Amino acid sequence: MDHPRDTASEERTRRQRRAMLLMLACVLVFCLMDAALKALVAHYPPFQVAALRGASSLPWLLAWAAATTGLRPLLRARWSLHLLRGAIGVMMMATFVYALQTLPLSTAYTIFFVAPLLITALSVPMLREHVGPRRWTAIAAGFLGVLVVLRPGGEGLLSMAGLAVLLAALGYAVSAITVRILARTDSTQSMVVWLMVFLALGAGALALPEWREIRGEHAWLVVGLGVAGALGQYLITEAFRLGEASLLAPLEYTALVWGVLLDVALWGVLPRPVTWLGAAIIIASGLYLFRRERVLETGSAAAQEEP
């Protein structure tokens, strides 16, 4: 007869494995979405592509919300924070799409990987969290990796595209911190749906002066953009529901593998050696940060259990 503790441990292991598989699938789906964004921005202005990202995913996300929590709970929301997230989302998506006009996916991902470091750094002034010297060192090392990629004369420091990805990463970090605050009162469905609503409306309004008619041959890209965006959101929600954030977050770095494969397959480009070097520094810093946070969480939990 199985011991109850053994059974619980096996169930937890199964949940963690499933969460990891869902997260890996989520990263792939979002990379395919980014490839669609890159393909579309070659023909349409960045704000229009950002608006299409929100509008194309919205019907699928509304169906998901209706099937899970219903639509009425969506109206119980902290509107000020949702409006802030919407404005940040417009900026983040438009700058990232703008960068994809000229940067390979792999280079854009490498720079964007600084986002977890920014989240940790911003948690000090915005959430009053404590960050020790080891984590500050990891953050500084990560920014050094960004400077390696954004070097003068490279794809770089003087490149508006590189700076645009940095701005997008900053927006992502601020948005992630607002999610921590919103999650205390609002559902995941509410946060996702209203972000897409404000993204579609805000970016759409900014895109109106230069709006171009969607060509028929690009309709499948717009549909694929919506499906991938909605499916990716469902997968990441399920992954974090089943698994621990400190275990799942490092799996986001697998995006670099998919980015390289998509760059080669669709655009025939490979990252430069210095981009690999910068990516190694940033990823190593991020992984250390995740490991350090997990150690601190474990130590805090153990201290609370002491008599």
Report pLDDT digits (tens) over 211-261. 999 999 999 999 999 999 999 988 988 888 787 776 787 888 999 999 999
Query: CB under 8 Å to 13, separation ≥6 — which residues?
Result: none
Query: CB under 8 Å to 70, separation ≥6 — which residues?
Result: none
The two structure tokens encoding residue 283? 């990823």
Contact 31, 259 (CB under 8 A): yes
CA distances to 16, 102, 119, 154 from 300, in Å: 21, 45, 20, 44
CA–chain centroid gap for 168, Å, is 10
What CA–CA distance (Å, rounded) separates 70 from 272? 48
What is the average per-residue pLDDT within 35-54?
A: 97
What CA–CA distance (Å, rounded) separates 166 from 118? 10
Report pLDDT digits (tens) over 50-91. 999 999 999 999 999 999 989 998 988 889 999 999 999 999
CA distances to 39, 73, 76, 171, 173 from 185, in Å: 38, 11, 9, 22, 20
3-state secondary structure of 285: helix
What is the largest distance, in Å, between two alpha-carbon atoms of the chain?
71
Residues 26, 261, 36, 248: what is their CA dihedral angle, to the nearest 10 degrees?
A: 20
Backbone angles phi, psi at 71, to 5 degrees: -85, -25
| pLDDT of res. 124 | 80
To the nearest whole percent, how much of the chain has pLDDT over 90?
A: 52
Residue with tokens 């400190």: 246
162 or 31, which is more confident: 31
- Res. 107 pLDDT band, cuts 50 70 90: very high
What mean pLDDT value characterizes the chain? Answer: 87
Is the predicted pLDDT of residue 8 greater than 80, yes or no? no
| pLDDT of res. 187 | 87
| pLDDT of res. 5 | 59
- Res. 155 pLDDT band, cuts 50 70 90: very low
What CA–CA distance (Å, rounded) separates 96 from 92? 6
- Res. 152 pLDDT band, cuts 50 70 90: low
Query: CB under 8 Å to 212, separation ≥6 — which residues?
Result: 43, 44, 45, 48
